Chains A and B, each alone.
Chain A
């Protein structure tokens, strides 16, 4: 038994035991269900081995929704604990674990894959391509993300959760102060997912640079594709920094190196520095695709082309560079001189300018437009004022002298939720509704969707605006409780109500999906929203090969022109189409990464070496493999097109 003692949870609680049982039961049910309905082969051949960008995107979407649920439960627990003074629902240790898990899951395992879902599903369609540049690598990216997420998620039932915050600052994260394996999970799980993200970045840069349909110059690319491109650029330069920081953190914990130690010359703040060199660009990695999604939705439902296309593009490109110049604003209070802080204060305030330009462009797009208040549009409209408030408080935080007051209070927490929820969360929810017919071939119910929207918006406002006030009153972040005398009770209770509203909204979103699966009409046609860009020029759901004929582009809105200006998108005849083959190797290799990560977490070296060798064998296999892909014949294309109610030829 002694051997297994290390897998025990160091701070157990009834809730954790209940989760263990729930996990075991769920796994059992899934296995049973798959066997009973004979779906194993379907699962393996249609999903696990797929290299199709649409299916990979769909898997990202499902994973992100699951993680949204997990992170949301964490959030509710925190708000419940702080709802009233001196509450005993969670003790300090569990509170630490919950907010650490919440932050990591929401940023790395919810927002990132949600963004990746849209990049995968939409970008190849928007540029008129058949897939991404490296479909196999794309599958590797997904599975690495997935295995990283799973590794992180088992921490709370095997060995203990990380408890040093999503920023995991040293020396707190060192062995001395965080003795459980939780922080090992943090370091290694994020590492695995991060490698996957880096590959996605490489993949999309190459795809967008070289696989655009004929005639689609860079300055004719749809806004979302631009944002995916710029985000990919930020990814490939920001994620290597995280890779190294996590490597150093892992070594400090596993091998007693001295990078961030308090002795032998170690420098704990170097972690904070490296973390934010990645961390600030990371927030732009999240927000730019969100901007891209809004930039697709707002013109569609205003029936106007986007205002200021060029300035939109320029501001994004500027942000991609600039996001690397400001990271120090996350630790103004660290102890550098006022001179250094001033430099970074100024760069930070400047970065708000390109963001502001975009706000005006969206407003001017709606100006004189004929607006249709659909669910995606409601999210986009609410996004503008709410996000602006978040941006303005960001500029307040950017003033280093004032930040000594705001730093690490609830004011900061209010700021970043105020940009991330109306920015990223609204965008992905709007995007899910907007692209739902593209992915699944039917629409989501609008009426329930609107209820969900209102609950979310009101819930968000109730939950986070009070935090600005408690923050200014001095309530520190990450405090598990407070006294009656502090006077924070009322506003924290309001926040709890807001969180409950947001939970209701999540339930409604799930219900919309369920309701629409059962009741929404199928066969919505290719273009249910009367949209403008190329992804709507093919069928819903999209056939394997995307476009039977590669479209020809000669403007920024070729599909709009095809509909209303008699422009001919699809010239020529069907030809056989070359497609990549499925492969199980990405999944197997990523599963080995999971084992490798697990072995490292518990310092099980033999298992680590064996799984590492397995990973190398997978790579060697890839090197020697000959894979020419396969062709879809003209007959097959014709058949599919007819079946889908082919709108051309």
Chain B
């Protein structure tokens, strides 16, 4: 394994660079995945049947909390990567743990939000709109859940193996994933929640 020391560790071997580029390409596909969900959402948003509309069930407080938690976690994992580049393992791990805790908080709010919808009579089966809403939010939520476990594995590896070209690479790629989920959330926040709540 040739290690190029002029580069940050996560880029330092050829396989590392391949991994990072490959992951960016994967994110390109993810854009299209969420793009399709948004396409379908916009098509079905007014098709509420006998069920509630977005304006009737969305509430600003939990949504703001979710947004704040996810934005902050995205910032914190950025700090984690910065600490990793400085070679500060402890700081890095702390930031990563905080990131995951924030992610967990996000999931908590989201699950609670789903429960509330459920009790208000908006279920997966109520109307095309609610089916689509739950699927879009659920796909994002599933990504966060998966990310949580992935992040956990990476924390364990960094703790055990230290900051090596391999672990640095994985951590960096994980941070890309996490930031990307934040970007998707920004669009969900704006075009599903805010747009839904301000619609007349």
A and B part of one assembly: yes
Using CB atoms and an 8 Å cutoff, list the residues of chain A in contact with chain B: 133-134, 198, 201-203, 205-206, 209-211, 236-241, 243-245, 247-248, 251, 255-259, 261, 263-267, 270, 273-274, 277, 578, 616, 620, 623-624, 626, 628
Q: Are A133 and B18 interface neighbours, CB within 8 A?
A: yes
Q: Are B128 and A134 interface neighbours, CB within 8 A?
A: no
22 contacts between A and B (CB under 8 A): A201-B29, A202-B29, A203-B22, A206-B18, A210-B21, A237-B29, A240-B36, A243-B36, A244-B40, A247-B135, A251-B124, A251-B135, A255-B125, A257-B125, A257-B131, A257-B135, A258-B128, A264-B50, A266-B128, A267-B43, A277-B36, A623-B153
Interface readout for B39-50 with A: 1 if CB under 8 Å, 0 if not? 110011001111
Give the interface SS of chain A, mostly helix, strand, loop or mixed: helix
Q: Are B128 and A264 interface neighbours, CB within 8 A?
A: yes
Neighbouring B residues of A255 by C-beta, 8 Å: 124-125
Neighbouring A residues of B29 by C-beta, 8 Å: 198, 201-202, 236-237, 239-240
Give the interface SS of chain B, mostly helix, strand, loop or mixed: helix
Rounded to whole angstroms, the CA-CA distance of A203 and B25 in the bound complex is 9
Rounded to whole angstroms, the CA-CA distance of A267 and B153 in the bound complex is 42
Neighbouring B residues of A202 by C-beta, 8 Å: 22, 25-26, 29
Rounded to whole angstroms, the CA-CA distance of A578 and B126 in the bound complex is 56
Q: Are A265 and B44 interface neighbours, CB within 8 A?
A: yes
Q: How far is the CB of B193 from chain A (nearest CB, A)?
A: 20
Closest to A242 in B: B36
Q: Which of A264, A623, A624, A626 neighbours the largest number of chain B CB atoms within 10 Å of its CB?
A: A264
Closest to B150 in A: A623
Closest 5 CB pairs of A and B: A265-B47, A264-B49, A240-B33, A257-B131, A265-B128
Closest to B24 in A: A206
Question: Which residues of B1-58 have CB atoms within 8 Å of chain A's CB atoms?
Answer: 1, 14, 17-19, 21-22, 25-26, 28-30, 32-33, 35-37, 39-40, 43-44, 47-51
Q: How far is the CB of A240 from chain B (nearest CB, A)?
A: 4
Interface readout for B118-157 with A: 1 if CB under 8 Å, 0 if not? 0000001111111110010000000000000110011011
Give the total number of A-B pairs whose CB atoms are below 8 A apart: 121
Question: Which residues of B98-130 have CB atoms within 8 Å of chain A's CB atoms?
Answer: 124-130
Beyond A134-B18, A244-B40, A263-B49, whether A205 also contacts B128 by CB under 8 A is no
Neighbouring A residues of B32 by C-beta, 8 Å: 236-238, 240-241
Q: Are A134 and B43 interface neighbours, CB within 8 A?
A: no
Rounded to whole angstroms, the CA-CA distance of A491 and B43 in the bound complex is 44
Q: Are A243 and B43 interface neighbours, CB within 8 A?
A: no
Neighbouring B residues of A134 by C-beta, 8 Å: 18-19, 22
Closest to A270 in B: B43
Rounded to whole angstroms, the CA-CA distance of A465 and B17 in the bound complex is 51
Q: Are B36 and A210 interface neighbours, CB within 8 A?
A: no
Rounded to whole angstroms, the CA-CA distance of A628 and B130 in the bound complex is 48
Q: Are A259 and B49 interface neighbours, CB within 8 A?
A: no
Rounded to whole angstroms, the CA-CA distance of A33 and B77 in the bound complex is 55
Q: B166 on the interface (CB 8 Å rule)?
A: yes
Neighbouring B residues of A620 by C-beta, 8 Å: 149, 153
Rounded to whole angstroms, the CA-CA distance of A620 and B125 in the bound complex is 33
Neighbouring B residues of A264 by C-beta, 8 Å: 49-51, 126-128
Rounded to whole angstroms, the CA-CA distance of A616 and B145 in the bound complex is 12
Neighbouring A residues of B135 by C-beta, 8 Å: 247-248, 251, 257, 259
Q: How far is the CB of B164 from chain A (nearest CB, A)?
A: 10
Q: How far is the CB of A501 from chain B (nearest CB, A)?
A: 42
Question: Which residues of B78-112 have CB atoms within 8 Å of chain A's CB atoms?
Answer: none
Closest to B2 in A: A578
- List 7 other contacts, CB 8 Å, given A198-B29, A259-B135: A133-B18, A133-B22, A236-B25, A255-B125, A259-B40, A264-B49, A623-B154
Of B28, B37, B39, B51, the contact of A237 (CB 8 Å cutoff): B28
Neighbouring B residues of A133 by C-beta, 8 Å: 18, 22
Interface readout for B149-171 with A: 1 if CB under 8 Å, 0 if not? 11001101100000000100010
Neighbouring A residues of B125 by C-beta, 8 Å: 255-258
Q: Are B36 and A265 interface neighbours, CB within 8 A?
A: no
Closest to B43 in A: A270
Q: Are B22 and A258 interface neighbours, CB within 8 A?
A: no
Rounded to whole angstroms, the CA-CA distance of A14 and B157 in the bound complex is 58
Q: Are A251 and B157 interface neighbours, CB within 8 A?
A: no
Rounded to whole angstroms, the CA-CA distance of A247 and B125 in the bound complex is 15
Rounded to whole angstroms, the CA-CA distance of A530 and B43 in the bound complex is 56
Closest to A273 in B: B43
Rounded to whole angstroms, the CA-CA distance of A89 and B1 in the bound complex is 64
Closest to A207 in B: B18
Neighbouring A residues of B153 by C-beta, 8 Å: 620, 623-624
Q: Which of B29, B51, B156 neighbours the largest number of chain A CB atoms within 10 Å of its CB?
A: B29
